[in-house]
Amino acid sequence: RGNPADRDTFLSNPINIKLVVDVSASMYRFGYDGRLERLLEATLMIMECFKGDKRFNLHITGHNGSSPKIDLVHPSMELDEATQLRVLESMVAHTQYTYAGDHTIEAIEVAVEESAPDTLVIAISDANLNRYDITLKDLKPLQSAKVHAHLIFIASLGDEAAALAKAVPNERAQCCMNTSDLPLIIKKIVTSALK
């Protein structure tokens, strides 16, 4: 059953979760392959899962060609259905009205630098790796000892995302090309980080 005092201690130190989502122009432009839909579904699932749960502080930021950090959700927000809808609509709008470009690496760096120790950072990107010359060396922030950082690729040109994800140490990068797998991948990451 546990000691009520232990529960109060746990509740006084909520776990920080920062979701960093790709709201770049390519998410909209190449949406025919389901990448934007996968991202919206995953974001909704996370908001629904953590809403009202005082054990967690949920932050959601976006990144695109215009900015490495676009605030979408902060812990003090009430995540009712209307707010969740506004967040998802904002994400779609960002994909439609942004400059071409990629700030995936900068978004991960900002999330890691700004996060409190032991924060779980999950970045999601559509992996235009060769186009923006993203290499294994660029993903060094995923190995930060300060936070638990992970990257999920939800689209790829050829097998470039799979090859890079396989090369990232400590299973800090994964590929997800199937909508139904994304919630399972995120659940696995959250569960392993909380151990």
Helix or strand holding residue 70 (H, E): strand 70-73
Query: In whole angstroms, how far apart are CA 71 and each of 2, 36, 90, 105?
Result: 37, 18, 10, 17
Q: Using 50, 70 and 90 to split pLDDT, how confident is the model at 16?
A: very high
Distance in angstroms (rounded) separating the CA atoms of residues 72 and 80: 14
- What confidence tier does 12 reach under pLDDT thresholds 50, 70, 90? low
Q: pLDDT category, 18, cuts 50, 70, 90?
A: very high
- Is the pLDDT at 191 greater than 70? The verdict is yes
What's at 74, amino acid-wise? H
Best-predicted range by mean pLDDT among 33-42, 98-107, 143-152, 176-185? 143-152
pLDDT of residue 179: 67
Mean pLDDT of the chain: 87
pLDDT over 90 at 129, yes or no: no
Q: What is the pLDDT of residue 173?
A: 93
pLDDT category, 82, cuts 50, 70, 90? Answer: very high
Q: Which residue has the higher pLDDT, 83 or 154?
A: 83
Residue 66 clears pLDDT 50, i.e. is over it? yes
Pairwise pLDDT comparison (43 vs 101), residue with the higher score: 43
* Whole-angstrom distance, CA of residue 119 vs CA of residue 136: 22
Q: Average the pLDDT over 150-159 and give the result.
A: 85
Indicate whether 115 pLDDT > 90.
yes
Query: What is the sign, positive or negative, of the torsion defined by CA atoms of 189, 159, 110, 74?
Result: negative
3-state secondary structure of 67: coil
Q: How much is the pLDDT for 8?
A: 47
pTM: 0.87
Average pLDDT estimate for 164-192: 86
Distance from C-alpha of 110 to C-alpha of 159, rounded to nearest angstrom: 27
Is 29 a residue whose pLDDT tops 50? Answer: yes
